[in-house]
Amino acid sequence: MVNPAAKIVVCLAILLLAVVSISAGEGCPEPPPVAGGTYEFGAYARPGADGRYPEQSLVVVVCLKGYQLQGGDSIISCNENGEWSASPKCQVRGCLRPAKPWNGKAVRFKGGRRVGGQAVFKCKPGFDRVGPARKTCTVTPRGVEWTGPGGITECVARNSCRSPGVLHGANWTLIESDRRSHHEDPTFSPNTKINVECWPGFVSTEGPSVQIACGMSGEWSPPIPTCREVICPSLLESEADIDHLHSTMENRTYILGEVVNYHCDAGYRILGKTRRQCSGPNLYSPNRTWTDLDPICSEIECPDPGRIQFGGSRYLGSTRIGGSVTFRCRSGYRLQGSAVRHCLPNGRWNGTLTTCDHENFYCPNPGIPIGGRMVNQHRVRFRKGERVSYECSRDKVLIGSEERECLKSRSWSGEPPTCEGPYDFEDASEVAARLGYTLDGLPTDPQDSVSETPGPRGRFIDLGYTGGMDIYFVFDVSGSVRNSMDGLTSSINLAKALVKKIGGLDGPRRARYGACVYATNALSLFGVSDSQSSVNTLLENMIKNPQHIRDLGTGTATGKALQLVHEFMIPSAGENIQESKKYLFLFTDGKTNMGANVARPKTEAKTLRKRYDVKIHCIGVGDEVDKSELRDIASKPVSDHLFVVENANDVYEVAQNLLEQKIDYSRCGLNRPPKTRATGRIVGGDNAQQGMWPWQVALFCQKTSGCESSKCPPLFYCGGSLIAPNWVLTAAHCLRKCQAPKVRIYTGILDIYAESLRQFDQAQVYTIDAQIHHENFSQVTFDHDIALLRLSKNATLSPNVRPICLPQPTMQDDAIYSTDGKSYVTGWGHTEAFDVSVDEGRCRNPKGITSTRFLQQLAIPLRTNEECSQSFSSGRYECRFTSDYKPNMAFCAGYPDGNQDACNGDSGGPVMREVDVGGSLRWVQIGIVSWGEGCAVEGRYGVYTRVSAYKDWIEEHIRPAAFAISH
């Protein structure tokens, strides 16, 4: 029996011998030299620290010039025995054919091209040899090559041609020469060839491009051509015949591509083109003409405002600039809007649409736009369910709703219409202001505050990108734009301003950008999933490298561009494309003239809006813009998404104003209202528009029990109003509904449902560090129902978050609580009417009635103290006493027939009205939603805290300067 220990010893010995054996032969030494050749070592043929090459290393044998490989494969390898495989041989082959000198040749070979053979060189007539006449085929360290005393053999011309130098109207390039000649040389040898090309706008008798050669005599043949400039005829004489017309043209050179810009005297506008360009059939045509016809100047007048329905008008002066018109209403009708309107220099009437309203109208008189008519105005009396329809005069386009319905909420459906003519343009400052409000109101990304992505996000392509916003620029580069690059340059300049205002991937909005251009066809320049490190550079390259623009044709196929965005650019934006907010800015100066049979602009825009919820903004330039087409492309409301300016200079001005504007959102009582007030209700009311009531806040209570604390949804319980960056005004009875540490203040919010709150920007949610209710507040009678909440930090102000004004010492109660005019109340309260005196649970709010999802607005009439007192003493209130209504601290408001009212859940919200403060209309909070018996019950009014009665109390807790109205 073999001893097991002995077996182990034997095995270890064998293993040790194997290791020693392998170590002794590991790798190969340096490969042996190859005569007439060298080695090329691959990336994996590198010697180790001991100078040996690893096993299986591969090395390539390369023969020198004049040698030829023999002996099989050119590759040798390191074998496992530590030796290289057999190396091939490099055998002498001889010299290559000698390179002949420029303007010379090798005439004969003595001994051929073998080693020792000789070559003889000669020059062509007119050239002298420089260098050796003979060279010998010799073996050198570099290989087998021709050598001789004196170096290189060259043939130098006896005569030479002078360099063309700097040519007027042309450029020249060297296309064939000896190796000694360069573009900067003063002379060139015979047989040198150059190409002379005329500049665009210049022509020669030989053509736009001529090839010439240097002759033996030292003269160019054919001679250097002369390129003469082709210009357009002078415009001075034709301009002199047009009254009030002026033009600007630098140096008056009339060259190809030069643009003449026209303008009229103050008080006149151009009819026709504002610019003409010197053009021709092609760059080198000898014919030049001006595009289009001479424009004319027409005196600016405002359109006839016509007679207002149920009223009349009287002109003071005329419809010319500076003239005015005064409106009046029939007896029994109340004038709404501007009583006097003045004709402005841009041909528009100032002020707001004037109407004559009547208390018997269920909906307010919607008015008739200037330049249009209400088709059925003699058959309607603005009753519930009635429809009004509009049309514009033949030369104008209707922007807004063609038909509107009087809703149960006493408001009109749709959007107020306007009638716009081809020469109705917006001021650049007005467009910049509206765009500025839009951009400042864009949401920040709720994920941004919790992102754990290190470093800036603008340097990489994030295919897993979620949230944020994707912004697409669509540029019209059709022939009309291309003929004068000012139009495209100004649009790109505005796009760059938008990028600067919105920010990039590393900003709070996490914005990505894409761009495409279109003419006859459309082309994507860069997408939102491409590198975002230099968006401005990508935009500028459109001007610097315009060839891709020229290849798109000269037509205007707007539909194809929109189709490109939704069929290619959005789908290729990476994963989770539905999670980003999408915006599109279309820049154009004309209307679709081709491609509509393939892609209709209206249809493609609808697809973008419906499928991807893209907000489309249209920016039109000039009088050829098809406003009806852009109206159909733009998102609703059209007045917020369609902008038309007069020319490229206005676009530049919009961009400049956009970058320079600094809007002070701390100024109280300012918003961006629609063109006419929407009247609605809270019980069954209308949704409020974003930015209409920017001081409205929602009070939530953060639930902490019965669920994981990190996932507990907050519960809405009251409304409130922002009266300073860190102070909220609300009702005192709201404070008992939530403990202070659990209170969450949501600013700039419209939708209070849970799924929306999860996507809401948490930067707009605040905790409080103090809550103050009036010391005499009664939970029984709701006397002194007023309270203050102090935010733990100042709210971030924007178009959607700003304070409301409070009554000032100069404001009289009789004026701000007048029953004339309209007051508004907003909130998320119940949308179903109920009567607590008859419903189950007498004198208690019923269960199961939910708040509305979206912020509601109601135009509510204030009642006189006599009306309020009579209502309480009439026996209609069964759960309240007459003494509960105290006019010194409260007021009542509402409709006698019920139907519309503030309701449970609206508590703490503001009642406000517009007040003229030093010529500026400001929203002033006059009340706080306090209490009522039931909701929207006939004969009962809602009761509201009279804010003016508590000015001193508010100022005791907050410094008075916080409420001064600044101008």
Residues labelled catalytic: 733, 785, 907
- 3 state SS for 103-160: CEEEEEEECCCCCCCEEEEEECCCEEEECCCEEEEEEECCEEEEECCCCCCEEEECCC
Q: What are φ and ψ of residue 479, in 5° steps? A: -55, -35
Q: How far apart are CA 202 and CA 256, in angstroms?
A: 9
User: The tokens of 600 are what?
Assistant: 């209709």
| Residue whose structure tokens are 């090395």 | 59
Three-state secondary-structure class, residue 130? strand
H/E element, 951: helix 951-957
Are 952 and 774 within 8 A, CB to CB? Answer: no
Beta strands 614-621 and 581-588, pairing class? parallel
Q: How far apart are CA 906 and CA 699, in angstroms?
A: 11
H/E element, 269: strand 268-271
Beta strand residue intervals within 684-766, DSSP E = 686-687, 696-702, 714-724, 727-730, 743-747, 765-766
Q: What are φ and ψ of residue 11, in 5° steps? A: -60, -45
Q: What are φ and ψ of residue 827, in 5° steps? A: 170, 180
Q: How far apart are CA 465 and CA 445, in angstroms?
A: 12
Q: How far apart are CA 936 and CA 941, in angstroms?
A: 8
Beta strands 259-264 and 228-229, pairing class? unpaired
Kindly give the residue spans of alpha helices, DSSP state H, lying in 428-478: 428-440
Kindly give the residue spans of alpha helices, DSSP state H, lying in 613-769: 627-633, 648-660, 754-759
- Give the number of other Cβ atoms within 10 Å of residue 244's Cβ: 16
| Residue whose structure tokens are 């419209």 | 750
Residues 6+ apart with CB under 8 A from 675: 352, 353, 416, 418, 639
User: The tokens of 331 are what?
Assistant: 């007896």
Q: What are φ and ψ of residue 268, in 5° steps? A: -130, 155
Three-state secondary-structure class, residue 859? strand
From residue 84, how far is each of 55, 62, 73, 923 by CA, in Å? Answer: 9, 16, 13, 94
Q: How far apart are CA 653 and CA 433, in angstroms?
A: 12
Kindly give the residue spans of alpha helices, DSSP state H, lying in 845-895: 865-873
Name the residue among 89, 79, 70 with its Cα closest to residue 27: 79
Three-state secondary-structure class, residue 258? coil
User: The tokens of 536 are what?
Assistant: 């401005």
Name the residue among 311, 387, 397, 398 with its Cα closest to residue 354: 311
DSSP 854: B
- Give the number of other Cβ atoms within 10 Å of residue 205's Cβ: 10
Computed over its alpha carbons, how large is the radius of gyration of the chain?
42
Are 639 and 646 within 8 A, CB to CB? Answer: no
DSSP 381: -
Three-state secondary-structure class, residue 747? strand
- Give the number of other Cβ atoms within 10 Å of residue 287's Cβ: 11
Are 84 and 28 within 8 A, CB to CB? Answer: yes
Residues found in the chain? 967
Q: How far apart are CA 674 and CA 692, in angstroms?
A: 8
From residue 492, how far is each of 274, 477, 587, 614, 631 by CA, in Å? Answer: 21, 11, 9, 21, 22
User: The tokens of 890 are what?
Assistant: 């409260």
